Amino acid sequence: MGFAFTEENLEELEALAKRYPSKEALMLPALWKVMEQDGYVSMDAIDVVADYLGVPPMKVYGVVTFYTMFHLEPVGTYHIQLCRTLSCSLCGKGEILQYLRNKLGIDVGETTPDGKFTLSQVECLGSCGTAPVMQINDTLYENLTPEKVDEILEGLK
Amino acid sequence: MREVKIVSRRFDIPGSHTLDIAREHGAYEAVERAFDMGPEAVLNAVCESGLRGKGGGGAPACGKWRLAKEHSDPTKFLAVNCDESEPGTFKDRQIITKDPHLLIEGIILTCYAIGAHDAYVYIRGEYYGFQKILQGAIDEAYAAGILGEKTLGREYRVDVTIHRGAGAYICGEKSALLESMEGKRGHPRLKPHRKEPEWYFGRPTLVNNVETIATIPFIVKEGPEAYRNYGTEKSPGTMLFALSGHVKRPGIYEAEFGTPMMAYIEHYGGGIRDGMALKAVIPGGASTPVLTADEARSANLDYESMRSLGSSLGTGGMIVMDESVDMVEALKNLLAFYHHESCGQCTPCREGTGWVDAIVASVLKREADVADLDKLLDISWIMNGKTICVFAPAVSGVIDAFVKKFRAEFEACLRSHV
Ligand SMILES: Cc1cc2nc3c(=O)[nH]c(=O)nc-3n(C[C@H](O)[C@H](O)[C@H](O)COP(=O)(O)O)c2cc1C
Ligand code: SF4
Ligand code: FES
């Protein structure tokens, strides 16, 4: 599958370029545009970003693989990312993880057969005071309880 | 305990993230004042205030500002660190969501003082929802003529651009942050042999934490003495301390340096929850050595006190643990974090974090023996002081504190049957 930036995204990147001393600074912004368009970064998209920035594709590949939030493969429509780090762990993360596993019928790192949900564990989400927390795509959910998880997942259907 | 709100003073006002409400309550008044004072006087005020960085290192702002300001290159940059990925730390998100104009005001003042015109706010990728609030405030500030070609009508340009990270704890380290902003993997740079500024595309650059920058408006407006009125001689002022873990009311509460730790936990956090006893406190984010309950009872929230206890103040994010916590599990949780987050440049760190994680996992599975605890300390020694950045030494400090202070618990775990 080929990749091309949408007109709108290209314009936004061009506008952003004026704010930086070098076009190479647009690496993360450009990759975020790719993520926004496709939900993951394909090899084709890597070539397009490399061309756009004027850097070798391997440099883009190196960056994509360094950052946890960029994926080389598609994930479920809803990417559930439960925080596994200490404060969340102290405040009931284990129970929420078990609940999500049972409810979705998948384990960490798996996607439901209908392609709807992917379950991941991630490191501290910077919201330890409202633990346990999870993020679904770009939305943060705090003070989780099993009932709250039900409501949240219900709302996504 | 003396209540004080310097950075958090507008947090509880409904709508404080909007320009009108923020201005009604004093936002951008310090900018007017700064233009009357001149850049040198602004810098001097910051130096006299004794302000120390709130990103974890506690470096005095003054020295860093001077290095950037006095560099002969006329093009300088400001990078504001909102990577906030240290477990137990969630204060910068309060600033960017509850009072983003305070941060923008601080950015203008800082740029003006050091002679920069372009500021970047590097925000961790997971904070996308919060980033939108900050972007909304930046847009408002542009529309009102506060940012852009002229700052409040004066001949000084300040542009602020948000740069979104993509999930890498190490990008909070200042040189890794700049590498990341240059479009590379977030690898920390080798430290120079003498004092120099940071560099962004070869240009002198100042990196400060969000909270540090958000403190500048108060110092400029009220004067350095007003700031020094709080805190201690070596730790002047206040900090947005954080409470998470087993307290009744977790959250962010500003307090002056020198406040006794337990008084803070009781007063703001409501004490330990469910009538349990305190077991330990990680004082300033996951990377600061854990304190036993006794140590916590003698600790004050300032740099000197933490140092004398062999720990450090870090980001001021306290993780409170009650008697139900299994310290072996707690260490395992943290080591999995470090194993995942090591950037991989230095062998002791890349290999060491995986190795110690595996050893503690084997302790939990009762597949280790006492010699493995000593091996843990040996590896910890190898990780200390031999790497490009202080990530590995911090992990070393974490391991030593857990294993040495709670050794009996580790040994009991080895002897118990699953
Ligand atoms: C591994 C590591 C992670 C760090 N993460 C952060 C962070 O998330 N936010 C931050 O402000 N500083 C972080 N720092 C500290 C920065 O390197 C730097 O000292 C700080 O941003 C400077 O600002 P300050 O002087 O205002 O504190 C980190 C340091 C290390 C070694
Ligand atoms: S100490 Fe660890 S995190 Fe720091 S540069 Fe070396 S490998 Fe990277
Ligand atoms: S530990 Fe879960 S948000 Fe920080």
State pLDDT tens for residues B286-337: 999 999 999 999 999 999 999 999 999 999 999 999 999 999 999 999 999 9
Tell me the mean pLDDT in the region B265-283.
97
CATH number of domain containing A93: 3.40.30.10
Gyration radius of chain B's alpha carbons: 22
Residues A82 and A108 in one domain: yes
**DSSP-based three-state secondary structure for B164:** strand
For residue A157, pLDDT over 90 is answered with: no
Residues of chain B above pLDDT 70, percent = 100
Summarised one tens digit per residue, pLDDT across range B91-131 is: 999 999 999 999 999 999 999 999 999 999 999 999 999 99
Judging contacts by C-beta atoms under 8 Å, the chain B residues touching residue A22 are 182-183, 201
**CA pair distance A153, B142, nearest whole angstrom:** 38
Domains: count for chain A: 2
The β-bridge partners of A120 are: A81
* Ligand 1 pocket, mutate which of B127, B174, B205 (most atoms under 8 A from CB): B174
Other residues' Cβ atoms within 10 Å of the Cβ of residue B268:
22
Residue range(s) of every CATH 3.10.20.600 domain in chain B = 238-322
Question: Got the DSSP string for B30-56?
Answer: HHHHHHHH-HHHHHHHHHHHT-B-SSS
Confidence of residue B1 (pLDDT cuts 50, 70, 90): confident
Q: Judge whether B386 and B392 are in contact, CB under 8 Å.
A: yes
**Contact by Cβ (8 Å): B297, B262:** yes
Could you tell me if A96 and A146 are in contact, meaning their C-beta atoms sit under 8 angstroms apart? yes
Residues A45 and A99 in one domain: no
- Chain A contacts of B243, Cβ < 8 Å? 129
The reply to whether A113 falls in a domain is yes
Question: A128 and B88 in contact by Cβ < 8 A?
Answer: yes
Residue among B325, B318, B166 nearest B255 (CA): B318
A86 and A136 together in one domain: yes
pLDDT band at B73 (very low <50, low <70, confident <90, very high): very high
Q: For ligand 2, which residues put their CB under 6 angstroms from it? A: B 170, 188, 342-346, 349-350, 387-389, 391-392
Say if A71 falls within a structural domain.
Answer: no
State how far the Cα of B285 lies from the Cα of B392, in Å rounded to an integer: 15
Angle at Cα B163 formed by Cα B157 and Cα B169, nearest 5°?
135
The answer to whether the CB atoms of A138 and B128 lie below 8 A apart is yes
Confidence of residue B206 (pLDDT cuts 50, 70, 90): very high
Kindly state the average pLDDT of the residues B227-242: 97
| Residues of B in Cβ contact (< 8 Å) with A144 | none
Cα of B193 from ligand 2 centre, angstroms: 18
Q: What is the pLDDT of residue A1?
A: 66
Contact B51, B209 (CB under 8 A): no
CATH number where A45 lies: 1.10.10.1590
Residue A35 pLDDT more than 90?
Answer: yes
Ligand 1 pocket check for B279: Cβ under 6 Å = no
Q: What is the pLDDT of residues B22-34, one digit of tens each?
A: 999 999 999 999 9
CA distance B381 to B385: 8
For CA atoms B357, B303, B188, A60, the dihedral sign is: positive
Alpha carbon distance B122, B142 (integer Å): 19
Do A50 and A82 lie in one domain? The reply is no
pLDDT of residue B203: 98
- Is residue B372 pLDDT above 70, yes or no? yes
Domain check: are A87 and A142 in the same one?
A: yes
Co-location of A57 and A88 in the same domain = no
Percentage of the residues of chain B whose pLDDT score is greater than 90: 99
Residue range of the domain that includes A103 = 78-156
Would the pLDDT of A55 be above 80?
A: yes
ipTM reported for the complex, 2 dp: 0.98
**Residue A62 placed within a domain:** yes
Ligand that comes closest to the CA of residue A132: 3
Report pLDDT digits (tens) over A77-125: 999 999 999 999 999 999 999 999 999 999 999 999 999 999 999 999 9
Say yes or no to pLDDT of B417 above 80: no
Check residue B418 and give its pLDDT: 59
Structure tokens at B388: 């490009």
Residue identified by tokens 């775990």 is B413
CB contact under 8 A, A28 and B129: no
- Does a structural domain hold residue A98? yes
Q: DSSP assignment of chain A, as one string?
A: ------HHHHHHHHHHHTTSSSGGGGHHHHHHHHHHHHSS--HHHHHHHHHHHTS-HHHHHHHHHHSTT--SS---SEEEEEE-SHHHHHTTHHHHHHHHHHHHT--TT-B-TTS-EEEEEES--S-GGG-S-EEETTEEE-S--HHHHHHHHHHT-
CATH code given to domain B327-415: 1.20.1440.230
Scanning A3-42 for CB atoms below 8 A from B yields 16, 19-22, 24-29, 31-32
For B238-322, CATH number out of 3.60.15.10, 3.40.630.10, 3.10.20.600, 3.30.450.270 equals 3.10.20.600
Which of A35, A90, A141 should be substituted to probe chain B, the one whose Cβ sees the most B Cβ atoms within 10 Å?
A90
Does residue A17 fall inside a structural domain? yes
Q: Please choose, from the candidates A78, A152, A155, the residue with its C-alpha nearest in 3D space to the C-alpha of residue A120.
A: A78
**Mean pLDDT, to the nearest integer, of B78-86?**
98
Residues A59 and A98 in one domain: no
Q: Among the listed ranges B116-120, B192-196, B206-210, which one has the minimum average pLDDT value?
A: B192-196
Q: Which residue is closest to A21 within chain B, CA to CA?
A: B201
A53 found inside a domain: yes
> Is the pLDDT at B359 greater than 80, yes or no?
yes
Is residue B357 over pLDDT 90? Answer: yes
Residues A30 and A87 in one domain: no
Q: Per-residue confidence at B54, pLDDT binned at 50, 70, 90?
A: very high
pLDDT band, very low/low/confident/very high, at B416 (cuts 50, 70, 90): confident
Q: What angle do CA B343, A38, A81 make, to 5 degrees?
A: 50
A45 shares its domain with A86: no
Q: What is the mean pLDDT of chain B?
A: 97
Ligand 3 centre distance from Cα of residue A128 (Å) = 4
What pLDDT score does B134 carry?
98
- Helix residue ranges per DSSP H, B115-223: 128-143, 174-181, 210-222
CATH 1.20.1440.230 domain span(s) along chain B: 327-415
Take residue B121 and report the two structure tokens written for it. Answer: 């706010």
- What is the average pLDDT across B221-233? 98
pLDDT tens string A120-153: 999 999 999 999 999 999 999 999 999 999 999 9
The yes-or-no verdict on residue A13 having pLDDT over 80 is yes
CATH 3.40.630.40 fits B19-228, yes or no: no
Residue B362 has pLDDT above 80, yes or no: yes
Say if residue A82 is in the same domain as residue A57: no
Say if residue A110 is in the same domain as residue A56. Answer: no
